[in-house]
Structure 1
Amino acid sequence: MQAMSLRTAWWAGKALLAVAALWPLISVPAHAEAPQVKTQVPGYYRQAVGDFEVTVLHDGQIKLDTKLLKNLRAGEIQKLLALQFRNNPTPTAVNAFLVNTGRQLVLVDTGAAKVFGPTLGQVLANLKAAGYEPGQVDAVLLTHLHGDHAGGLLGADGQRVFPKATVYVSQAEASHWLAADAIAKAPEAMKGFFKIAQDATAPYAQAGALKTFAGATEILPGIKALPAPGHTPGHTGYLLESKGQRLLIWGDLVHNVAVQMAHPNVTIEFDADPAVAARTRQALFKWTAQDALLVAGMHLPFPGLGHVREDGRGRYSWVPIDFALWPDAP
């Protein structure tokens, strides 16, 4: 038996050597390597609000250093970032919102175009990817006149990007940024921001297509302006309502979702009146949480839609929406 086992093992070894010798001659089907695409899908997302179709348009991202945040120790800020696996500087979305009411096409904010560098300026491309053309926009509602919200009004040729649109901005905002002597009176570090606002709106003003409003007022059917001061003097949110459904587009109420939801008293260096900005944020957090109101923000993680949840003791959390098919999809 032992001799037989040794003989079997010897033949098995010979067979393996033979197969190994033939292996290079065996034809193996070649599989082409798939190249990496290295691009992202177009940045738009649709949400129904009653009969309104809301399309979120992603303008891009900027990175904001937490040194810009006020009223909370650096160590506490870092803990809050770590809880949500975020880094410093924190990638921060810039969003705009296109509202098709069925009668009008309304754009809320325009993104930055190229005034804030190469990582922004995608609103127009994403508007087209979403199936619309800038010439179809009937109205542009501005939450405020910072460059990452109004810069997209102006094309590279210095002309109106939205040739038939009327641009709406609050009177308090226009008085602050667009006054004839505003640039001359501005601190040196702020003069560029005033120039961006004036350059972006000038072609619309010259065409008689720049209008102002005051206070809480219905701008267009189903779209109401709500003052939300502090970030800028005339900072404004817009409440959409259709068939009993509502959406509050709250502009720049939040810049760092990980920190400011948990601590609404935290302000950012860009706030014109930090104390007022903090009170506005606390009031809107309380209202939207109690009413379970769907909200949208220009600097909330794309697509910037979700709800505010009250966690007690003046703290809140952000609850983003889930991806969903359009309600009428088969």
Structure 2
Amino acid sequence: MNRRALSRMFGSALCFSSLASLSFVVSTQLASAAAQAVGGQAPGYYRMHIGRFEVTALLDGTHPFQAAKLAVGAKPGEIDELLGDQELKSPFEGMINAFLVNMGDRLILIDTGAGNLYGKDGGGLVGAIKAAGYAPDAVDDIFITHLHEDHAGGLMLDGKPVFAKAVVHVSKRDAEFWLDNRNQDSVGDLLKPFFPAIQKVVAPYVATGRFKPFDGEAALLPGLTPMAAPGHTPGHTYYLLQDGAQSMLFWGDTVHMQPVQLPDPDVAIEYDWDVPLAIAARKNALAIAANKGWWVAGAHVSFPGIGHVRGDGKGYRWIPANYTLNR
């Protein structure tokens, strides 16, 4: 082979090598661009049944807080130790859960999340409802466990009422307490801002005659019964959903820190209106739910917040619902 042929061959090889290198660089850059993280989570919902009733857990958001700072009555180091037992630490990320129940003839919502009242930590309820196949306008009734920002705040979003036709139900005792500014003197600085915030979000429903407090423990709908559980607030209320042999207890703010307050139910939280009453209500709810084998739906238990409680020594343990596609 002469020198000119060798030169052409060598040049072609270099060209091919350069093109191959360029192709590798370009494809690598494209692959890198295609693999960029999107971030965020899908709107949270989880579905199951209690008898004929379809229950959909909805995630409004998550709210990190300094667990040891807000805990009341804990032993030194207890909060960090109990969180550590589940590979957790402060700030503890509490859930803001709500629950949609399709009763066949009515669509009801238990609690509404925080809406805008917790900033970026809330406001996901509407997206979760829509992702679950429903619409806020389809909700007939809303049952609030208590009038705290992260349970009633979602009645409004971006300054507008969210639920066009729903009637809002809450215990008369809680309504009378939080809608009367004279009661601000009976709470600490942590709870004082709740008064104007709650009054604002319920105002459109009051104005349209769709705010109806109830008194007593008579069934509110066939299959749905309120249970008075004062302590966390004056009118804190559980709702017991039952059909046939199946039951689910929606227990509101009975537990804020499941890894802490189940093993030690005597630990309270600064948001409790009456600490001894709140502790007594928690112990009662845990004992009944464990004894009867009820499903529990917790507003601040790790999403979807549905599970069972079982006795464990002097305390209790949480058994979360097993994820399934066959509900």
Deviation at 1:164, TM superposition (A): 0.5
Could you tell me which amino acid in structure 1 is paired with residue 106 of structure 2? Q
Aligned partner of 2:86 among 84, 94, 107: 84
Deviation at 1:187, TM superposition (A): 5.9
Is the Cα contact below 8 Å between 2:272 and 2:278 reproduced in 1?
A: yes
The equivalent residue for 1:326 is 326
Q: Secondary structure at the match of 2:62?
A: strand
Could you tell me which amino acid in structure 1 is paired with residue 251 of structure 2? W
Deviation at 1:243, TM superposition (A): 3.0
Gaps of 5+ in 1: 1-20
Deviations 1:188-210 (A, max 9, x none): 65432101111111111111111
Is the Cα contact below 8 Å between 1:112 and 1:150 reproduced in 2?
A: yes
Is 1:316 matched with 2:316? yes
| Bigger mean CA deviation after superposition, 182-191 or 233-242 | 182-191
Q: Secondary structure at the match of 1:98?
A: strand
Deviations 1:76-100 (A, max 9, x none): 2211111001111101111000001
Is 1:215 matched with 2:216? yes
Q: Secondary structure at the match of 1:78?
A: helix
The alignment's TM-score, normalised by the length of structure 1, stands at 0.87
Is the Cα contact below 8 Å between 2:111 and 2:143 reproduced in 1?
A: yes
Is the Cα contact below 8 Å between 1:92 and 1:256 reproduced in 2?
A: yes
Distance 2:46 2:61 in 1: 14
Distance 1:132 1:235 in 2: 28
Deviations 1:219-258 (A, max 9, x none): 1121111111100000001110123211101000000111
Could you tell me which amino acid in structure 1 is paired with residue 295 of structure 2? L
Q: Percent identity?
A: 43
The equivalent residue for 1:224 is 225
Q: Secondary structure at the match of 2:142?
A: strand
Deviation at 1:155, TM superposition (A): 3.1
Report the CA distance shift for 1:89/1:189 in structure 2 as closer, same or farther (over 3 A): closer
The equivalent residue for 1:135 is 137
The equivalent residue for 1:16 is none
Distance 1:115 1:142 in 2: 16
Deviation at 1:320, TM superposition (A): 0.6
Distance 1:268 1:46 in 2: 30
Gaps of 5+ in 2: 1-13
Is the Cα contact below 8 Å between 1:223 and 1:241 reproduced in 2?
A: yes
Could you tell me which amino acid in structure 1 is paired with residue 323 of structure 2? F
Distance 1:41 1:155 in 2: 20
Pairing of 1:243-262 with structure 2 (within 5 A): 243-262=244-263
The equivalent residue for 1:192 is 193
Pairing of 1:26-175 with structure 2 (within 5 A): 27=20, 30=27, 32-33=31-32, 34-65=35-66, 66-157=68-159, 159-175=160-176
The equivalent residue for 2:9 is none
Q: In the comparison of the two structures, how many residue pairs are matched?
A: 306
Is the Cα contact below 8 Å between 2:123 and 2:157 reproduced in 1?
A: no
Deviations 1:3-57 (A, max 9, x none): xxxxxxxxxxxxxxxxxx9994695874623222212122111111111111111
Deviations 1:86-141 (A, max 9, x none): 11110111100000111101010101111111121111111111111111000000
Could you tell me which amino acid in structure 2 is paired with residue 96 of structure 1? A
The equivalent residue for 1:298 is 299
Is the Cα contact below 8 Å between 2:240 and 2:248 reproduced in 1?
A: yes
Is the Cα contact below 8 Å between 1:46 and 1:326 reproduced in 2?
A: no
Distance 2:76 2:60 in 1: 29
Distance 2:181 2:74 in 1: 38
Could you tell me which amino acid in structure 2 is paired with residue 308 of structure 1? V
Is the Cα contact below 8 Å between 1:170 and 1:213 reproduced in 2?
A: yes
Distance 2:259 2:80 in 1: 10
RMSD over equivalenced CA pairs, Å:
2.1
The alignment's TM-score, normalised by the length of structure 2, stands at 0.88
Could you tell me which amino acid in structure 1 is paired with residue 168 of structure 2? V
Report the CA distance shift for 1:83/1:126 in structure 2 as closer, same or farther (over 3 A): same
Q: Secondary structure at the match of 1:279?
A: helix
Is the Cα contact below 8 Å between 1:183 and 1:195 reproduced in 2?
A: no
Q: Secondary structure at the match of 1:150?
A: helix
